[in-house]
């Protein structure tokens, strides 16, 4: 059976990060202008490929340390697995040029109907009335543009609006901190944001400062199994295998009558995860999809 575009993208990301990639940049070929790309220089490397399953997509991966033998091996691997169309290639670029190019292509983005993600170096127009979350994206940790983040944010924002008291929120796999910061800005009294990656938490800490919510958000690398608190809302935007693995621990983290938001799964993975969590005592309230991705909202009765 042919792989879906999301499955191809997941395989690409796994292989690229395993090879030492520290950042990804998506382009749309119709809008891509070669003249905007930095001049080649003797420094770090970028590795470009086009997914055969999504012919209009150009993906650039950033490697801070160049190992040409490893990248040549990676090229053969991607081609053999039928994950790219055409020949991937490597260019040397100055690190500052890469970051500047990334900044130029990260702009104000709609997270929900009521909330925008704003690059920390930009200002919202004076006429804009929606909430703006100020984010500086650490390489690879998220800018709020992915469907899974938007789906989770929409459920989270609506649940916080329906709670008549200050809520407590647990954000599992916080990344750049977008969901944790959204919870704090939307009135949560306390947010615990977890991530296994120390660099992700460093990025989240910076973004908390950008949004003046440092006092409301506690950051930790603590394993989910070690948490001894309960929360009004638990949100986890993580890939399906991790959601399966963590499932047995979630019932003891959600208050009776509280809510669990899961995102990060493919649409075809949703029925299996709904059954897993239903068997643990959660009642499905709502599910939503965007493209090939899905999210769901549970209540613990």
Give the pLDDT score at 51: 42
Pick from 88, 174, 83: which is nearest to 135 by CA?
A: 174
CA end-to-end span of the chain: 39
pLDDT, one tens digit per residue, over 182-239 is 999 999 999 999 998 888 888 899 999 999 999 999 999 999 999 999 999 999 999 8
Chain region(s) in the chain for CATH 3.40.50.150: 115-300
Q: What is the DSSP letter of 146?
A: S
Q: Best-predicted range by mean pLDDT among 67-76, 80-89, 210-219?
A: 210-219
Give the pLDDT score at 122: 82
**Poorest-pLDDT segment among 9-18, 48-57, 267-276:** 48-57
Domain 115-300, CATH among 3.40.50.720, 3.30.2000.10, 3.40.50.300, 3.40.50.150: 3.40.50.150
Give the pLDDT score at 127: 84
- Whether residue 165 has pLDDT greater than 70: yes
For residues 234-261, give the mean pLDDT.
Answer: 95
- Whether residue 69 has pLDDT greater than 50: yes
Put simply, whether the predicted model's pTM sits higher than 0.75 gets the answer no
Percentage helix, strand, coil, to 5, in the chain? 35, 30, 35
Tell me if 157 sits within 8 A of 115, measured CB to CB: yes
Give the pLDDT score at 25: 65
Percentage of the residues of the chain whose pLDDT score is greater than 90? 48
């Amino acid at each position: 059976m042919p792989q879906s575009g999301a499955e191809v993208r997941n395989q690409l990301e796994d292989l690229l990060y395993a090879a030492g990639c520290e950042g990804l940049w998506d382009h749309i070929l119709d809008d891509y202008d070669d003249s905007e790309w930095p001049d080649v220089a003797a420094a770090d490397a970028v590795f470009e490929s086009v997914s055969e399953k999504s012919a209009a997509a150009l993906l650039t991966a950033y490697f801070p340390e160049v190992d040409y033998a490893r990248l040549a091996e990676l090229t053969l691997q991607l081609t053999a697995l039928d994950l790219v169309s055409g020949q991937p290639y490597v260019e040397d670029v100055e690190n500052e040029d890469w970051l500047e190019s990334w900044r130029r292509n990260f702009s104000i983005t709609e997270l929900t109907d009521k909330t925008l993600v704003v690059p920390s170096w930009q200002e919202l127009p004076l006429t804009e009335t929606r909430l703006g979350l100020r984010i500086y994206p650490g390489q690879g940790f998220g800018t709020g543009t992915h469907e899974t983040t938007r789906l989770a944010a929409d459920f989270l924002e609506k649940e916080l609006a329906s709670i008549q008291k200050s809520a407590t929120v647990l954000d599992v796999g916080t990344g750049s901190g977008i969901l944790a910061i959204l919870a704090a800005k939307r009135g949560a009294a306390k947010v615990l944001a977890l991530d296994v990656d120390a660099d992700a938490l460093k990025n989240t800490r910076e973004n908390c400062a950008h949004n003046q919510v440092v006092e409301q958000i506690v950051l930790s690398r603590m394993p989910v199994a070690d948490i001894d608190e309960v929360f009004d809302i638990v949100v986890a935007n993580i890939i399906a295998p991790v959601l399966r693995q963590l499932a047995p621990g979630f019932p003891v983290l959600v208050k009776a009558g509280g809510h669990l938001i899961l995102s990060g799964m493919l649409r075809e993975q949703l029925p299996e995860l709904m059954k897993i969590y239903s068997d643990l005592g959660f009642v499905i309230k709502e599910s939503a999809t965007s493209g090939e991705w899905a999210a769901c909202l549970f209540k613990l009765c």
